[in-house]
Structure 1
């Protein structure tokens, strides 16, 4: 017995734009989207882009307040409702982390991360 695919279960039923999952890999990305390089080995440097929806070998537990969790969930729902992007909370947090670390690499002492941690 085979189960229906997600596309069969969640097909659009109206003229509203369909919600789409954020591409997992460069092959799934639109042609005009920049390609992300994947890590070939564990010894290779960290990828320049956020890791996205791949199997992650490492785990980190982060405790957040109820308000922070609510803000993350509201952002996830707005991404879906207003931009048609279906992302899970983990993906959202990894993307946000990537943005902060990228900005820190580029601006160091003048980065928002350093300023906020000093405040």
Structure 2
């Protein structure tokens, strides 16, 4: 029985990793659209070499939940992804929500919950 390594496809290897910025907008229009543009361009960094690293400690239940989500993505949706990529995507989603909704964002609401 041979074990094959799953490699990324061409679309993922050759995708643009730097958000495109267009400086042709007039200043008043650019300032009004800057928040919307940051939300639209925020995404997880995907498969690439990362220069920065953090260590995050999680409970056994959180780690099990993350692993179950990874397996569900693979089994139910055909998406093979590692836990690091899942975490980067989750961070991008939460930060985009914070940019867009501010005090009404999920992050602010959850961090304000008593007992945390």
TM-score, normalised to structure 2's length? Answer: 0.67
Counterpart CA distance in 2 for 1:25 and 1:106 is: 30
Q: Which runs of 5+ in 2 are unaligned?
A: 20-37
Specify the alignment match of 1:97 in structure 2. 91
TM-aligned CA deviation for residue 85 of structure 1: 0.3
Number of positions where the alignment pairs a residue of Structure 1 with one of Structure 2:
91
Structure 1: runs of 5+ lacking an equivalent: 1-5, 12-19, 28-35, 40-45
Structure richer in helix, relative to its length: 2
Q: Which runs of 4+ in 1 moved over 4 A?
A: 20-23
Q: Higher relative CO (CA 8 A, sep ≥ 6), structure 1 or 2?
A: 2
TM-score (norm 1): 0.66
- Deviation (angstroms), 1:37: 4.2
The question of 1:55 aligning with 2:35 is answered no
Match of residue 69, structure 2, among 75, 90, 108: 75
| Cα shift at 1:48 | 2.1
Match of 2:12 in 1: 24
